[in-house]
Structure formats: structure tokens, C-alpha cells
Structure 1
Amino acid sequence: MSKTRNRRSTIISWCVPCLGFLFGWTVLTSVYPSYGFGARGTNDFIEFWSAYQLFEPNSNPYDPDELNIQQRFLGRDQATPLRLWNPPWALTLLSPVLEFDFPLSAKLFFAGNMFLLFASAILIWRLVDPAPRIIPLVALTMAFLPTLDCLNVGQISIVLLAALVAMLFCLERRLDIPAGFCAAILTIKVHLFFLLLLTLAWWIARNGRWRVAVGGIAGLALLLSVTIIHSEAAIPQWVDSFQNPPFHWIVASLVGLVRQIILALTGAWVAWPVVVVPTLATWGVGLWLLTRRPHIDWRYHGPTLVGLSVIFSPYGWLFDQSVLLPLHILPLAYIFGGRIPANRRIAFLLLIVIMQILAMSMYHLYESSNHHYVWLPPSLLGAWLLFWGSDRPAINDAVQS
């Protein structure tokens, strides 16, 4: 492909996120003339907006009573508020959006998430192909249930997806300090990336890529500094909020499945899997790193480790599975590159279609709770490992070309 065609394709592809922003804004404006709580994109967003109103020196964004006052004023009439459990630097990161009144903030957040979603999809594709195929890319992105759920409820997981993909993209291009900055953002939900960040730390030490660490430390220091300047009590208040952790949640990860099995067998709702399951996963990956000393290819190991992190995460919901978008798009980017044998191409496409049809059917036709989607991350990861393992030579040829 010529450089001119490459450049033209890049320009066209980056129009897609901008159109995504405009589309999201236009849809909300036309469908909801008086946009407010209860509309698409507001159900969970209210926790961030209401917490930000209390993100001041003399207030507590983690106080359930104060949050309830804020949320009832917006029309959420429930006995208990939707609480913020993320660290306060999540509010710092989102502050440019949260500064406005609730309707405008929620619209900006929804449209901004549309922009970040398509920008992430383009960067994922460009990890293996500098000229993304626009129509397949848009179709694949809009067919991924976790990101659709994230948009629907107004959660932060697409922001973290964008940080993850930008980190992988920067690592592949040896943009080490920006990669570290992106890694710092992942601390907002570190439980979704703990195995990835463990491997990243090992990889930095083994390969001497200390600029990644410098970028990460600088990025986290910046987030913490701005947070403390805004409210020096916010971090201690966040820590104090875990005196009564939400162990009652039934989550969409292996932890939730183990707890439900134990409940069915013993009648006891135990808390120890929340700690034991991710700890065992950490030991397993640590042992693999120390004994095997693998060569890390971030196009392969990055999505794989995120998939494992989500599976073994102590907490996680359907919208959190948005960070698995690389497992959905990368194989198809290889396939549309035309380097994969036709029989394997068709088989993998059918597998992806079946998974998404099943997930969409559960979402729209049945009253499914978040924990009913515990099967989706292992399925995506299994398909990715099967694809990569069976077509390694063809994939390597496609990447090198």
C-alpha cells in the first residue's frame, strides 16, 4: 500500500471518532428533548456527577447520606444512593466533563465515550494494519455488547479502554513516557488490569525500559497532586469508605461464580474468594514470569493479560468487559488483512458471531443480571488464544508486512 493511500486512509479513519461524537450528541438531543436522569447514559453517570459536587475541601464524595441528597434532587428516588467506589482521581480525570450541570455533563460524557470508543477501535486495528477497514471496524465496534452496555448506563470503562489501547499502541512504537502516563490512568480500576500491570513492571525491569516507569510515576503523581489540591481529604475518605466493602455484590467474574457455587453447597455467602482468587492468579502469573522469562509481544500478551485480569478480578460487571474490545477486534483485523487461511477465517467469524448473538439475546430478550455474563470473558479469551495459536505463522507474516 502506497504512503499516499496510507495517509488518506488514516485521515478518513480518524473522521470516524468525530462522527461518533456528533452521532451520540445528536441522538440524545433528538430522542430526549428534556434530557435528565433516567435517560440513556445517566443511570450510573449520576454517581460520578453527584460525587463531584461533594469533591470539595469541606465535603465527602463518599458520604452515602450526602450522595443520596444529590441524587434524589436529580430524580433518583431510592433508599440508598449509587455510591462511588473508584479512587478520587477518577473525578480529577473526569472533571472537565463534570463541571457542568447534570444534563450537559451526561450528554458530553455519552458523546465523549462514543469518540473514545471508535478512537480505541482504530488504534486496536492499527496495531496490526496501518489502514483500518472502516465499515468492518464500525460494525465490529457497534456489535460488542459490553461497550454498548457501558454507553447505556454511563460508566467509565470506555475511558479505561482508551487508556489501555493507547498504552499498548505507545509500547509498540516505543513511546515510553506516554505509555506510562496511560498506565497510570488504569489505576482507577486496577482490579481490571492487575495481571497486565504486574507483567508490565517485570518487563520494564527486565528490558530496562525505565522511561515507561518514569511516565507512569509522573502520570500518577500528577493525578494525585491535582486531586489533593482539589480536596486533600478525598483520598483518606476513599480509604475509609472500604470499612464496609460491598461483599454482597454478585459479580461477573470467577469470584462471583465461586461464591455462588459455595452458597449453593453450604448456604453461606463467603467473602474469602474476593481475596484468594485474584491472589492465586497473581502468584500464577508471577511464577510464569520468573520461570519462563517470556518474550513479551504486547499485541498478544496485552489483550491476553487483560482477559485474565477480568476473569480473576474481585469485582467486575458487564460494562467492565468493555476493556476486552481488543480480544474482539484484533483477530478480525488480522482476518480482514487477508493473510489467514479461508477455512480458519470462516470458522473464527462464526464463533465471534455466535458469541455476540448469544450475549445480545440474553441482554434484550431475558432479564439477565450482570453475573450471567461471566461466560463472556473466558469465551473471548479462549477464541483469541485458539486463533493466535493456530495461525501464528500467518499472523507473524501479516504483522511484518
Structure 2
Amino acid sequence: MVLRIYRVIRWPLLLMAGIAWVILLGRVLTSPGFIRVDDFVEYWAAGRLTLAGGNPYDPEQVLRLEREAGRPLEEAVMLWNPPWVLALLAPFGALPYPLARSLWFLLQMAALAWGGTQLSRSLRIALARPWGVWALVFTFAPALHALKAGQITPLMLPALVEAMRAFPRHPFRAGLWSALLLVKPHLVYLVLLTLLAESVRQRKPGFALGLFAAAAGASALSGLLHPPVFAQYLHAWRHYPPADWATATLGGFLRLLIGPSYVVLQFLPPLVGLGLWLRYRPSIPEIPLWTLISLATAAYGWTFDLTLALVGLIPAFYHLISHSPAPRRLGLILAYGILDGILLFTSMPQIFYFWAGSALLGWALLAQRGAAMPKHSPE
């Protein structure tokens, strides 16, 4: 009798608990402490303007909605992602801000958990299990910053992992997943080059077809929702581009040292990265390492964008724990803890974290001690 009652009421109870949790989450995520550092407000405003026939790349229209959401601003926090991302953001723009923010947070959490789990499976990490990998993911400072800010970067993590896993046995699927990397292609430019080069070398045209199909589909949907959006995006880049960003990159630091007006300095590190890629021509199993190199040499990026470094750090941890002597293992784990703690508990202007991507790359190279990253196993 008790079991029968439980079977009848469990789903209504779970539904009510889920609704109550979303409401509570919405209140927390829209409190003054969170809204002050919230970047999701720009995604929500852009999605809402797209559906309303406004201009998601117009500072005045965006600022009005961001103030409506509760973030006190003098200037708009602008969306600079390409227009195809609006196909993803429009459904959230249709919702009230607290509900949209709650669902976005849950989507971020799911993306991080899924990305970490799938990466551990592809590397056949038996000693860590999902709980160990999740411990790394959800104590990683950039991932926590991305959750707090409501950033879109965590959604790229499972896309990167699944693209790596699917290639070469399922190149079309790998291409579909890779389209999500075009949300911020500058962060993974060497990974995209590797996937494209390998698809040509291995004669896997399905990858390019999948990438094109997903990108074209998202672009068509964005254009259908708001036909002038591509013209508005180009207008924004021509008339008020984000040239003055002081980002947490080596290029940004070079501009700080030599002169902010020398915008070309922002692109010197990517040229170095491209030179390394041309020299070594990495293969698919080396993508974890080249993800770290991409992040370390990216033209633009913030500390929360380093969430993608988990693709390289988790294999490095695997190698460190499996193949290093105890003293060296403990020393590098301590070094990682100090590095993560600095990123998590210090609060400086972003430009002064220019070293973070390079430091994570250096740590991973030390952890694997010159050996190849553990190879992923395709599906």
C-alpha cells in the first residue's frame, strides 16, 4: 500500500520540489550580489530584442533591458558573439529574467558535469570515476567564475569533448558538435584547425558538412527570427568595436606595456600559436594539449574562458596520478592548488591575469612530463 502511494505521488512531489528550487535559485541569482557581476543579462537582453524586432547589438536598446533586469549600469554590457548564437539565446529571452537565469544556471551545471564525465570516459579514467572528475570540474576557479557570471563558455566544454570523441568514426556528428565552438572560435582556433586538417587528411568530408549544416542552420534560424541581425552585427563592429578591452591575455598585456593604441599586439600570440601548429601539425589525440595552447595564445579572453582548459587538465591529472612518483605528484598537486586558489580568491583587473592560460599550460606539461597526453578512445 505504501509503495503504491509512493509511486503515485513521487513525480508530483519531484515536480513541486523542482519548481520551488528554480524559484529559490532565481531569487538568489538576481540578488544584488549576483546581478552586479552577471553576464547572462547581455544574453537575455539580446535574445529578447531579437524576438521583439529590436537590435541586439545596439548599446542603448541593450542597456534599457539590462537595467530592467536589475543590473545598475552606466554602459551596456554588449553581446559580441556572432549572430548564430541568437538561435540559442532567443528562447531564454522569451522568459522573465529570474526564470531564464535559473534555467541557464542549470544548463551550465549540466554542461560542466556532462563534459567532465564524457572526457573521463573517453580517456578511460578508471581510478577517478565521475565523482573524482566532478571534484576537479567544480573546484576549478574559471568554471566557478563562469557559473557566477552566467557565461556561455561552459556550454562549449561538452561540445569540445564530444567533437573529439566522435571523430573520426562519426565525422558528421563531430562537425555538428564543433559548430557550438563557433560561439567563441578564438578560444579554440587551433582545435578547429586540427579537426579540419584531420578531416582533409583522413578524407572525412562529413566533418565539414556537419559543421556547415549546424552553423548554417543556426544562422538561418537567427535570420528568420530577426532578418537584419547580420547587418546590425557588422554595423556594430564597424562603428563601436570592443578595441579597448583589457583582457586576461598575453596580447592584452603587451598592449598595456607598449601602448593600448597598438591593437595589432593583441594578435601576436595567436600568430605564435599558429606557427607552432604549422610546425607540429597535431593529431586528434593531441587536442587536449592544443586546447591549452589555444587558450594561452588567444587574442581575447577572460579568466572564465579558461573553463575549457579542463579538456587538457583532466588528462594531465590522470597522467600525474597514474605515472608519477609520490613526491613529484604531491608537489604538482600543491602547485595546482595554489594556482587555482589565486584564481579563485583574488580579485584584480582582468588584465593582471594574463599569465593564467600560460601557467595552466605549463602545469599540464610538467604533469605529463614530456609524454603524450593519454589518448582518447573514440566511440
**TM range, smaller chain:** 0.7 to 0.9
**2:97 is the alignment partner of 1:112:** no
**Residues 63 and 341 of structure 1: is their aligned pair in 2 closer, same or farther, counting only changes over 3 Å?**
same
- Select which of 34, 38, 57 maps to 1:40: 34
d(CA) in 1 for partners of 2:28, 2:206: 48
Structure 1 runs not aligned, ≥5 long: 1-21
**Residues 85 and 392 of structure 1: is their aligned pair in 2 closer, same or farther, counting only changes over 3 Å?**
closer
Alignment of 1:112-151 (within 5 A): 112-129=107-124, 131=126, 133-151=129-147
Report the AA paired with residue 134 of structure 1.
Answer: P
1:378 is aligned to 358
Report the AA paired with residue 142 of structure 1.
Answer: F
Give deviations 1:214-239, integer Å, cap 9, x for gaps: 21111111111111111121112112
1:282 is aligned to 274
Give deviations 1:193-221, integer Å, cap 9, x for gaps: 11111222211111112211121111111
For the Cα contact (< 8 Å) 2:47–2:92, is it kept in 1?
no
Report the AA paired with residue 40 of structure 1.
Answer: F
Superposition misfits of 4+ residues, deviation over 6 angstroms? 22-25
Sequence identity of aligned pairs in percent? Answer: 27
d(CA) in 2 for partners of 1:281, 1:252: 17
1:215 is aligned to 210
- TM-score (norm. length: structure 1): 0.81
Report the AA paired with residue 273 of structure 1.
Answer: L
d(CA) in 2 for partners of 1:24, 1:346: 44
**Residues 118 and 145 of structure 1: is their aligned pair in 2 closer, same or farther, counting only changes over 3 Å?**
same
1:253 is aligned to 249
Would you say how many aligned residue pairs link Structure 1 and Structure 2? Answer: 359
d(CA) in 2 for partners of 1:25, 1:381: 42
For the Cα contact (< 8 Å) 1:191–1:313, is it kept in 2?
yes
Task: Give the superposition deviation at 1:192.
Answer: 0.6
- Select which of 313, 316, 319 maps to 1:328: 313
Alignment of 1:18-167 (within 5 A): 26=21, 29-30=23-24, 33=27, 36=30, 38=32, 40=34, 43-56=38-51, 58-129=53-124, 131=126, 133-167=129-163
Task: Give the superposition deviation at 1:130.
Answer: 6.0
Structure 2 runs not aligned, ≥5 long: 1-16
Task: Give the superposition deviation at 1:399.
Answer: 7.7
Task: Give the superposition deviation at 1:343.
Answer: 4.4
Give deviations 1:271-320, integer Å, cap 9, x for gaps: 1212344234324423443xxxx5x142xx21222222222222111111
Task: Give the superposition deviation at 1:388.
Answer: 2.8
Task: Give the superposition deviation at 1:61.
Answer: 0.7
Give deviations 1:309-350, integer Å, cap 9, x for gaps: 2222221111111111122222223455x4554444334323
- Select which of 256, 271, 289 maps to 2:263: 271
**2:355 is the alignment partner of 1:359:** no
1:346 is aligned to 330
d(CA) in 2 for partners of 1:357, 1:277: 26
d(CA) in 2 for partners of 1:386, 1:91: 40
2:7 is aligned to none
